[in-house]
Structure 1
């Protein structure tokens, strides 16, 4: 496929890092909260960038947008996070134009997820687009691209079984707990924080273990009570965290802090304690594992737990890729049409002006001139001429930029500017 230059002066880039090369610690340095994402978008808008998406999940942080050089986007990210340009470059990827478009399709359809077929990313992509639109930095290209990725994602979900079977980090967490904690239905479980993976883990635990000794602690008690009501959990005060840890057998940490919320000095228990850290960046200090009775397991380890479900999902990758190519092809056609439309419109307008002048001249010259019939014939000829030009511009072997320039030059076209 030829590389469609999306803008005369700018290219469309994706810059980012993911679980493939960046560990949890590095991803933590570049993770973005909603407030920071908005700040990046506002900064980009002030710098004249007219299309940008910012996404940040526990597995990846990415910027997708228009720039003269990818470093503009890299600088935006590094200026607003704890990570440096050097750290970013060690683990980063940069994609341009077609490659950037293809990458977003793979990410949005779960083919690039830490767990194959995990469609959680689509709701995050939708939220990213809504954030950009609200700030006024989602141009028609970004909007159409997001809608196309969402469409591909829906089709893959409906037409393949790539997301069949229960496989997610939340499910992997439950399986790990069930395999490593004897008599789990009788044990005390404490959920600290209200992160989505933590909530899903609790829901799965209730479903699979019939455990009714699950407590929830959150800094904001109102939020905890809302979630507790839905999942039938007990709510404890934040001030009782240390006491509750002493009484629990399994601690699930789903806080969203940029520094550890569980430290060694909070743990005063002699019985076996399993801690699952489901946060990015890590929210449990590594040194808690120095206690002989404490087992610390992080999200990245849980994500590596694979089973026959994942092996089965891999069989559906080729079909998913076919769907992506089809939807992406429609997007590229739209992109071509959008690019050629102003020139074709101006050409049509120019030919119509020439036609009107000629008809006016002939009507004055010939007494029996049938202006209405001549008008119909002329319009049909104009339609055929402009269609020929449009087909020429869509030809794979044609350099569209050179042709567009030539058409404008030959017909002295003035393009409408918005």
Structure 2
């Protein structure tokens, strides 16, 4: 009987900007702490390959399972989303579809802003976290390596990422397009994570505004940043309400798991533009209801000009050709990994038959040419195994069933790795 070391399917399940709005995506967002807890639970259940990706545009789990609901249940457990909500807005990819999805995502083809490569760094971090938790394997190592190679080539060999279009860049561009006197407006950036730093740098690069202030909960980080960016003023967190009252544009990039700007923080009646770059939303719904407040979230900020989009769309076929090359290389490795042990076992079984027959005829036939017999029968063995390799590579072939037949016919102790057709 064939020993199956792996009989699960590869799934990618999750929600993204394609079907879920910012509010729903916020519900399914998984904090770093909960990502670790999810991976630890998966490991305790014996799941041999799984990683979690949670960004402002998507939350996904990629892993091997008997059924996708195993992954869906874990996502709902460690987020604030329900199974019912997931069913309405979800994507579920299996085996080759899941692999294709990872390639498209990692090369910027599946980004909300076409060609946005921020996802590449986020994918690396997600995989690193899974590796630290001990939930990665050789399969994922090889797959992610091919995805990153394809991503690098698409970035270097196409214009898919022409122009800067990150959410932080879009926030500054929104301000420029919608405020006539944006250079003289008081701007307050709240939060100094990666997004906050990019926002400050984009403000410095694309505007001449000299009235930009920065507030961060950890003031030491803000002080260090302001020393290197002297055009920005450091403001104290305890003065948040007062600073908001004096500002015209509030850019929120705190990246918290709940609202950091609430109704009680708005103590002014003058016009206030709030750009919320965080996911889940860090500005409460009550703030948007205030007459003097215009609140813009990440979905609105992710829109780019038709002209830039048109240039990038022309590059899609080139990017897809690059993906195809690396995907084929991965599939070749996968095929080799799946049935090479079985082919080797078959070859060894045939060699045992060969040696037995040569020994038998050596006794029976006078002046038997053992060397010539070995050359001829070895060629037969090579041709037989080559035919089996061709058969197993055929997309219509059920690898498990074929190897079972091989085992029964040749009496070989054949086994496969990742025997399920991926």
Q: Which moved more, 1:394-403 or 1:74-83?
A: 394-403
CA contact (8 A) 2:342 2:416 kept: no
Q: Unpaired runs of 5+ in structure 2?
A: 418-422
How big is each residue's C-alpha offset from its partner over 1:50-70, in whole Å with a ceiling of 9 and x where there is no partner?
A: 111210100000011111111
Aligned to 1:137, the other structure's residue is in SS state coil
CA distance in 1, matches of 2:407, 2:225: 62
| 1:127 matched residue in structure 2 | 125
Secondary structure of 2:101's counterpart equals helix
Check 1:136–1:366 CA distance in 2 against 1; reply closer, same or farther (3 A cut).
farther
TM-score, normalized by length of structure 1? 0.91
> If the length of structure 2 is used for normalisation, what is the TM-score?
0.91
Deviations 1:144-190 (A, max 9, x none): 22112112211211222111122222221111111222333333221
CA distances 1:344-401 after superposition (whole Å, capped 9, x unpaired): 0111121222333344455566775665665555444433332222122213444433
Distance 1:409-1:175 versus aligned 2 partners, 3 A rule: same
Question: Corresponding residue for 1:260?
Answer: 259
* Separation of aligned partners in 1, 2:5 and 2:75: 22
Question: Which whole-Å CA distance do the structure 2 matches of 1:392 and 1:148 have between them?
Answer: 26
Pick which of 65-74 and 164-173 moved more: 164-173
- Structure 2 CA distance for partners of 1:99 and 1:281, relative to 1, 3 Å: same
Out of 83, 86, 95, which is 1:85 matched to?
83
Q: 1:30-69 to 2 correspondence within 5 Å?
A: 30-69=28-67
Per-residue deviation at 1:230? Answer: 4.2
Contact 2:11–2:68 (CA<8 Å) still a contact in 1? yes
Asked if the contact 2:113/2:304 (under 8 Å) is kept, the reply is no
Between the aligned partners of 2:288 and 2:156, the Cα distance in structure 1 is 43
The DSSP-based 3-state class of the residue aligned with 2:336 is helix
- Unmatched tracts of structure 1, length 5 or more: 1-5
Q: Within 2, Cα distance between the matches of 1:221 and 1:72?
A: 42
Between the aligned partners of 2:375 and 2:208, the Cα distance in structure 1 is: 77
1:80-119 equivalence runs, <5 A: 80-119=78-117
The reply on whether 1:212 has 2:207 as its aligned counterpart is no
Determine if the alignment matches structure 1 residue 221 to structure 2 residue 233.
no
SS of residue paired to 1:118? coil
Alignment check: 8 A CA contact 1:191 1:216 kept: yes
Conservation of the 8 A alpha-carbon contact between 1:278 and 1:298: yes
**SS of the residue 1:54 aligns to:** strand
User: Quick check: 2:346–2:414 contact (8 Å CA) kept in 1?
Assistant: no
The residue that corresponds to 1:348 in the other structure is 347
Greater relative contact order, per chain length (Cα 8 Å cut-off, separation 6+): 2
RMSD over aligned Cα atoms: 2.3
CA separation in 2, counterparts of 1:86 and 1:396? 35
Aligned to 1:143: 141
Cα distance, 1:278 vs structure 2: 0.6
Residue 265 (structure 1) shift: 1.4
